[in-house]
Amino acid sequence: MEATDRTSPSSSLQAKATTRPAKPADKAFIVALSNKVFSVYGPYRGTVSQWFESGVTLTFISTVGGRPAGFVMIGALPAEHEEQTAAEVLAIAVTPEFQRRGIGRELLLVAQKGAENLGVQRLFLHTARENLAAQKLFLRNGFRPVQSKTRFYPSGQDALLMVKELGKGRDPI
Ligand SMILES: CC(C)(COP(=O)(O)OP(=O)(O)OC[C@H]1O[C@@H](n2cnc3c(N)ncnc32)[C@H](O)[C@@H]1OP(=O)(O)O)[C@@H](O)C(=O)NCCC(=O)NCCS
């Protein structure tokens, strides 16, 4: 019989996260989470919604116990037969209750795989200079800061441009 731990968090918090490509029905979650975590930087509720529907972005959703817990969106994808080497991580977010469980890291890896499968050789992203948690996540996953951008965001915050070369550090076949 399974032991019962009355002091442990709910079973949904203990369940393992899985990641899948986003579906149109995920839009409400993506928009709500963007509104929650990105509004401080500008009108990203609408911006992320437009990106999601633009047809040139790739979005993945992490779920825990069937519930959406986070997403990552990459953009500027190469069209078929088009030579393009770089793509941008436009947005990545995990709902506060599911943060610090490795979901952000997993989403980044899935985005990277998705980009590599499309022939992308370099991922870049912008993150707020003040967002030290995000910078730590990106630094620990192979992104390096290359440029500071003053008042990059609509609300005036400065940004850091970070880059990761793909296809490096993989196990030799
Ligand atoms: C940034 C964000 C996506 C990280 O998601 P997450 O699922 O909590 O990240 P992970 O659990 O995979 O963390 C991986 C590593 O990143 C770093 N990190 C993540 N959150 C951190 C925090 N709040 N403080 C310090 N370091 C943090 C740590 O090094 C962590 O490893 P550790 O837990 O072993 O110390 C999440 O905090 C978030 O959604 N924030 C709001 C939206 C946002 O700022 N997005 C980035 C915009 S560019």
Query: Which CATH number characterizes residue 96's domain?
Result: 3.40.630.30
For ligand 1, the distance from its centroid to the CA atom of residue 134, given in whole angstroms, is: 5
- Name the nearest CA neighbour of 78 among 88, 68, 70, 69: 88
In a domain, 35, yes or no: yes
In a domain, 85, yes or no: yes
Measured from the Cα of 136, ligand 1's closest atom is 17
- Name the nearest CA neighbour of 95 among 111, 112, 71: 71
Q: pLDDT class for 85, splitting at 50, 70, 90?
A: confident
In a domain, 146, yes or no: no
In a domain, 158, yes or no: no
pLDDT at 162: 97
In a domain, 135, yes or no: no
For ligand 1, the distance from its centroid to the CA atom of residue 82, given in whole angstroms, is: 33
For ligand 1, the distance from its centroid to the CA atom of residue 92, given in whole angstroms, is: 10
Measured from the Cα of 126, ligand 1's closest atom is 48
Q: What is the percent of the chain where pLDDT is above 90?
A: 76
CA 35, 144, 18 angle in degrees (round to 5)? 50
pLDDT at 74: 96
| Structure tokens, 16 | 């393992």
Domain count, the chain: 1
In what side-by-side order are the strands of the sheet with 58-64? 17-21, 58-64, 67-75, 86-94, 122-128, 159-165, 144-149
In a domain, 154, yes or no: no
Indicate if the pLDDT at residue 171 is higher than 80.
Answer: no
Give me the chain's average pLDDT, please: 88
Answer yes or no: are the C-beta atoms of 15 and 65 closer than 8 Å.
Answer: yes
Task: Please give the model's pTM, rounded to 2 decimal places.
Answer: 0.89
In a domain, 78, yes or no: yes
User: Whole domain around residue 79: which residue ranges?
Assistant: 18-126
Indicate if the pLDDT at residue 80 is higher than 90.
Answer: no
| Cα atoms in the Cβ-side hemisphere of radius 13 Å centred on 84 | 15
Indicate if the pLDDT at residue 7 is higher than 50.
Answer: no
Output the CA torsion sign for 23, 25, 28, 29: negative
For ligand 1, the distance from its centroid to the CA atom of residue 60, given in whole angstroms, is: 17
| Cα atoms in the Cβ-side hemisphere of radius 13 Å centred on 2 | 3
| pLDDT tens digits, one per residue of 128-140 | 999 999 999 999 9
Indicate if the pLDDT at residue 1 is higher than 70.
Answer: no
Determine which residue's CA is closest to atom 25 belonging to ligand 1. 133
Ligand 1 binding pocket includes 101 (Cβ within 6 Å): yes
In a domain, 161, yes or no: no
